[in-house]
Homo-oligomer: A and B are copies of this chain.
Amino acid sequence: MGSMPNVPAASALPRRDQIRKEAARLFAARGFLGVGVDEIGKAVGISGPGLYRHFAGKDAMLADLLIGISERLLEEGRRRAGNGGGAPEALDALIGGHVEFALDDRDLITLHDRELLNLKEEDRRTVRRLQRGYLELWVDAVRGAYPALAEPAAEPVARAAVHAVFGLINSTPHSLGPNPAQDDRVAGLQRDGMAALLHSLAHGAFSAAAGAAAAGAGSGAGAASGTEAEAGADTEVDT
């Protein structure tokens, strides 16, 4: 095995990546269970069981996609968050990176939170561990950027806000056509315009979360309706 087998380079990207791309597109469009292996094969020019030369099975394809994207998110997130500057800059970089991801890899973002339950237990745990790490990155940045959220009692608020902002940003592939569309405008907004808007929305949401936490410090967050609740201060962190 001293020499590389061969370098196809014909289809620009190796078979394995080609399969990844088409599988992601199809899974995002019709769901993991709604797509047959024959269809994936046809999409890459081979037919049916030929895929088994490249992946152990249909499950393995989904696992590869979900673990891959989770790793990319976490790695890139770490890179951006730790790129000098303070917490506000880190948060801004995280938002920018996630928005870019959501706009450029819609299929994967869609899969990322839609198809987790179709993974075998072990892979699911792996993905969840990566997701948790990514979330921690955000929670730390947000709490660093907004002092009101740094209060111990505000930790659940920060966490929930991050979840919500994920939903906000990830909604894009959902509202737009599921297809990447490669380049041009979407829904009447230029891609960069949409990116800027999502960026603003995310900041606005976090800012509001900080305001709510400050206002309701010690009595829960009561914005409009003033029903007070006991401040749930106990937080359990597992693993």
Contact of A203 among B160, B174, B237 (CB under 8 A): B237
Inter-subunit contact B207/A239 (CB<8 Å): yes
Tell me the complex Cα distance, A230–B113, Å.
26
Binds B, one of A8-16, A38-46, A161-169: A161-169
Inter-subunit contact B96/A164 (CB<8 Å): no
> In this assembly, does A156 line the interface, its C-beta being within 8 Å of a C-beta of chain B?
yes
Inter-subunit contact B221/A190 (CB<8 Å): yes
CB distance from A147 to the nearest CB of B (A): 15
> In this assembly, does A72 line the interface, its C-beta being within 8 Å of a C-beta of chain B?
no
> In this assembly, does A60 line the interface, its C-beta being within 8 Å of a C-beta of chain B?
no
Inter-subunit contact A208/B203 (CB<8 Å): yes
Inter-subunit contact A221/B207 (CB<8 Å): no
Contact of A93 among B174, B204, B230 (CB under 8 A): B230
The complex is assembled from copies of this chain, and their number is 2
Tell me the complex Cα distance, A117–B35, Å.
12
Inter-subunit contact A201/B164 (CB<8 Å): yes
Cβ contacts under 8 Å, A224 to chain B: 92, 96, 192, 196, 199
For this complex, into which size category does the number of interface residues on chain A fall?
35 or more
Tell me the complex Cα distance, A59–B209, Å.
40
Binds B, one of A17-25, A26-34, A120-128: A26-34
In the complex formed, the residue of B with least CB distance to A93 is B230
Inter-subunit contact B220/A209 (CB<8 Å): no
> In this assembly, does A70 line the interface, its C-beta being within 8 Å of a C-beta of chain B?
no
Binds B, one of A49-57, A136-144, A181-189: A181-189
Cβ contacts under 8 Å, A239 to chain B: 204, 207-208, 211
Q: Can you list, as one digit per residue, whether each of A189-205 has a CB less than 8 Å from chain B (1) or not (0)?
A: 11011111111111111
In the complex formed, the residue of B with least CB distance to A193 is B221
Inter-subunit contact B229/A193 (CB<8 Å): yes
Inter-subunit contact A175/B160 (CB<8 Å): yes
Inter-subunit contact B96/A200 (CB<8 Å): no
